[in-house]
A and B are shown apart, each in its own frame.
Chain A
Amino acid sequence: MSKHIIIEENKISQIFKNQKAFIGFLTAGDPCLSKTEEFILAMAEAGADLIEIGIPFSDPIAEGPVIEAANERALSVGTTTDKIFAMVARVREKTDIPLVFLTYMNPIFVYGVERFFAACEKVGINGAIIPDLPFEEKGEVLSIAHAHEVDVITLIAPTSQDRIQMLAKEATGFIYLVSSMGVTGVRSEIKTDLAAIIADIRQVTQTPVAVGFGIATPEQAATISQFADGVIVGSAIVRIIAEHGAASTEPLTAYVKSMKAALV
């Protein structure tokens, strides 16, 4: 239990105190790492509360076409895990915004789980989201991550049903609630009864809940933030970067400001 308390007081959960959090995602190395560095700082400046940094993977099976294409672009310019750690170290000199990696199990496992999380701690990464690491398999990662003060973010899906409380009980940092079935991507309408799932979660934990998958507009962000502690936006941001490339700083700034302002 002592570990649980330490984690609860960490940097990630702070962002949910007295406000609704805006969490933005981008893929490291799209279009290049120096631009990723610039975009992270711009998003932080524009009011984002936490940035998820995607470590590109050749086969991102939980991603829709928008983020998958960003992964391909990033890998095609030679982005590697080592270069991403170096980029994060540079970012850390300029901002203390919480940073979380999103990547798949294989890049972490092959890099070496201990080596990966030690490097996270060194450069100041606060959490990791690993879509293909379910509750059943997290044992080989969790204690190492925690030893390096990195939260492994729990994902809960509309299909989690009878698993919700089992998953939520052990969650630290925040809970990533997947809004709808399928892969990441922009959706016009979100039908899942998120409020009911959040009520389920609340019965067993006070860990903040942020909702992601399919959120793109300020209207959606406003609606979701009525019952969630934060909103997560990925594909809509990655789409701006895909469209504007190296010149994305301005549109990203405007977009993040509009989203943050919409949170109630």
Chain B
Amino acid sequence: MSKGKYGIHGGQYTPETLMNAIIEVEKAYEHYKNDLAFQAELTELLNDYAGRPSRLYFAKKMTADLGGAKVYLKREDLNHTGSHKINNVLGQALLAKKMGKTRLIAETGAGQHGVATATAAALMGFECEIFMGKEDTDRQALNVFRMRLLGAKVHVVTSGTMTLKDAVNETFREWTTRVDDTHYVLGSVMGPHPFPEMVRDFQSVISKEAREQILKKEGKLPDAVIACVGGGSNAIGAFYNFIPDASVRLIGCEAAGKGVDTALHAATIANGSLGIFHGMKSYFCQDEYGQIAPVYSISAGLDYPGIGPEHAYLHDTKRAEYVPITDDEAVAAFEYLSRTEGIIPAIESAHAIAYAMVLAPTMTKDQIIIVNVSGRGDKDVAAIARYKGEDIHE
């Protein structure tokens, strides 16, 4: 009976109140994913509105400086709204339109998914309400105003740890009160089936393009693809079309915060264990009684105690590797890419850059790494200044 399984992971662990709403999404998605008119409409939106395909940029100075593998950057930061989140949001918003929904709700961590959802809502004429933890509205104040500017109502979540996990809880609660006209635009490859599969499909455009682009530029596949992982949507998007290519290492970078040996991290694969939460069976940071642990990362977008079920499966089968990256390493990479290539990455994406900086020098010059720059770092500038002890006012 259980659907949406990735090995032992995934499933549909959802209150009965929401089951029909979720089955409705599942049926609509099953229908429209094979509907040529729907796919054509989505492609037009992705290309003409969001600016796809995103560039695959050869980071020449970074490559020379690291002295090993050639580093290519997949520039999801150049998408409209500044991150990969728009890929999924346009897909789900279009689906919601076809389902006759008039209202979109979403959780957001760093604010990028909230901004993307508010943007699609403005474009397509939906009412829009975004749930964001108080910790995150404080550290990503600019994105809060951006969402309001786009016409969305932003709810500040003050329950629990007041971060992404709690924003997800509140959005599920809100959906429970009003399913008739409302679609929950889940922002990552998590939650109950069909969300992990649907969000992955919408994000897989990243690796579909990157695979074609690298074959065109280099005439061969990359040796490694690196992406940051919170829930894991940009990573699964960057990995997906390379999964059958056994020679391509797939590397996810988790937020290690102050270090995986401290209590302040969000490294689910490194320190988590099997559990059932937010609609899915997967790995979670939790205690021996199954209480979800308060997690920490400098990056609001990676500050999540779980990981999408397909990543859990890729980890189990050893098809992908997951490495922890600390705040310090991410901030160093944030500055490094800014100075070396003139690209300010999102602090989330800086976790992937940080591992490329470790890996590239260990590889040969004819080898290739693709790093997914999932978002741009404008939103993080003030927070990084504070991290470095500089007193600036936005």
A65–B18 Cα distance when bound, in Å, is 19
Residue of A nearest to B287 (CB): A110
How many of B's residues come within 8 Å of A, CB to CB?
40
Contact (Cβ within 8 A) A137 B11: yes
B125 at interface by CB-CB < 8 Å: no
A108 interfacial contact with B, CB 8 Å: yes
Q: Which of A55-63, A89-97, A246-254 contacts B (4 or more CB under 8 A)?
A: A55-63
Other than the given A59-B169, A160-B19, A182-B17, 17 more pairs (CB < 8 A) read A62-B15, A64-B173, A65-B159, A72-B160, A105-B13, A105-B277, A106-B275, A109-B281, A109-B290, A110-B275, A134-B15, A135-B16, A135-B19, A137-B11, A163-B16, A181-B178, A182-B173
Would you call A160 and B169 a contact (CB within 8 A)? no
Residues of chain B within 8 A of A104, CB atoms compared: 277
List the B side residues contacting A57 at CB < 8 Å. Answer: 290-291
CA distance A12 to B49 in the complex (A): 59
The answer to whether B291 touches A155, judged by C-beta atoms less than 8 angstroms apart, is no
CB within 8 A of A139: which of B2, B172, B279, B288? B2
Report Cα–Cα, A75/B286, bound state, in Å: 14
Residues facing B in A158-210 (CB within 8 A) are 158-163, 167, 178, 181-183
Q: Report A-chain residues with C-beta under 8 Å of the C-beta of B179.
A: 159, 181
**A78 to chain B: closest CB distance in Å?**
11
Known contacts A59-B165, A59-B292, A139 near B1 by CB under 8 Å:
yes
Contacts of A158 in B (CB 8 A): 17
Mask, A48-91, CB within 8 Å of B = 1, is: 00000000011101101100100010010000111000000000
**Cross-chain contact A132 with B15 (CB below 8 angstroms):** yes
Q: How far is the CA of A133 from the CA of B13 in the complex (A)?
A: 5
B16 touches A160 (CB 8 A): yes
Interface status of A107 (Cβ within 8 A of chain B): yes
B317 within 8 A of A: no
A62→B176 contact, CB < 8 A: yes
Beta-carbon contact of B2 and A136 below 8 Å: yes
Closest residue to A106 on the B side, CB-wise?
Answer: B290
Say yes or no: A106-B277 contact (C-beta < 8 A), given A137-B1, A137-B13. Answer: yes
Minimum C-beta distance from A131 to chain B (A) = 5
- Chain B residues near A81: list those with CB within 8 A: 289
11 contacts between A and B (CB under 8 A): A58-B291, A106-B284, A106-B286, A107-B291, A110-B273, A110-B288, A134-B16, A134-B19, A136-B11, A159-B16, A161-B20
**8 Å CB contacts to A: which residues of B37-58?**
none
Pairwise interchain contact B12-A134, C-beta atoms closer than 8 A: yes
Q: Which residues of A contact B34 (CB under 8 A)?
A: none
Residues of chain B within 8 A of A160, CB atoms compared: 16, 19-20
B3 contacts across to A, CB distance below 8 A: 136
Complex Cα spacing A182 to B182, Å? 13
Q: Which residues of B contact A (CB under 8 A)?
A: 1-3, 11-21, 159-160, 165-166, 169, 172-173, 176-179, 273-279, 281, 284, 286, 288-292
Nearest CB in chain B: distance from A263 CB, A: 25
B17 touches A181 (CB 8 A): yes
**B177 and A134 contacting across the interface, CB-CB below 8 Å:** no
For the complex of A and B, 10 pairs with smallest distance between CB atoms: A110-B290, A182-B177, A106-B290, A107-B290, A157-B17, A105-B276, A58-B291, A58-B292, A155-B16, A157-B16
Q: Identify which of residues 16-58 in chain A touch chain B, using a CB-to-CB cut-off of 8 Å.
A: 57-58
User: Which A residues fall within an 8 A CB radius of B?
Assistant: 57-59, 61-62, 64-65, 68, 72, 75, 80-82, 104-111, 131-137, 139, 155-163, 167, 178, 181-183
B290 adjacent to A108 (CB under 8 Å): yes
Q: Per a CB cutoff under 8 Å, which of B2, B18, B290 touches A137?
A: B2
Chain A residues within an 8 Å CB radius of B292: 58-59, 106
Question: In whole Å, how far is A253's beta carbon from the nearest beta carbon of chain B?
Answer: 31
A65 to chain B minimum Cβ distance, whole angstroms, is 8
CA distance A157 to B23 in the complex (A): 15
Which residues from A are CB-within-8-Å of B177? Answer: 181-183
Min Cβ gap A176→B in Å is 9
Shortest beta-carbon distance from A51 to chain B in Å? 22
Chain B positions within 8 Å of A162 at CB level: 20
Residues in B whose Cβ lies below 8 Å from that of A65: 159
Q: Determine if B289 and A181 form an interchain contact, defined as CB atoms under 8 angstroms apart.
A: no
Q: For the complex, what is the distance from the CA of A135 to the CA of B15, rounded to whole Å?
A: 10
Scoring B17, B18, B172, B178 by chain A CB atoms within 10 A of each residue's CB, the highest score goes to B17
Alpha-carbon gap, A80 to B288, bound state (A): 10
A152 to chain B, nearest CB (A): 13
Q: State whether B20 touches A159 (Cβ < 8 A).
A: yes
A110 and B286 within 8 A (CB): yes
* A167 adjacent to B16 (CB under 8 Å): yes
Do residues A61 and B2 form an inter-chain contact, with CB atoms below 8 A?
no
B residues in contact with A136, CB < 8 Å: 1-3, 11-12, 19
Among residues of B, the one whose C-beta sits closest to the C-beta of A133 is: B13
List A contacts of B278 (CB < 8 A): 59, 61
* Distance A162 CA – B273 CA, assembled complex (angstroms): 36
Query: Do B275 and A109 have beta carbons less than 8 Å apart?
Result: yes
Do residues A58 and B12 form an inter-chain contact, with CB atoms below 8 A? Answer: no
* Minimum CB–CB distance for B170 against chain A, Å: 9
Complex: A156 Cα to B16 Cα, angstroms:
7
With both beta carbons as reference points, the residue of chain A lying nearest to B166 in the complex is identified as A59
Give Cα A75 to B176, complex, Å: 25
Measured between beta carbons, the chain A residues less than 8 angstroms from B159 are 65, 68
A62 to B, closest residue via Cβ: B15
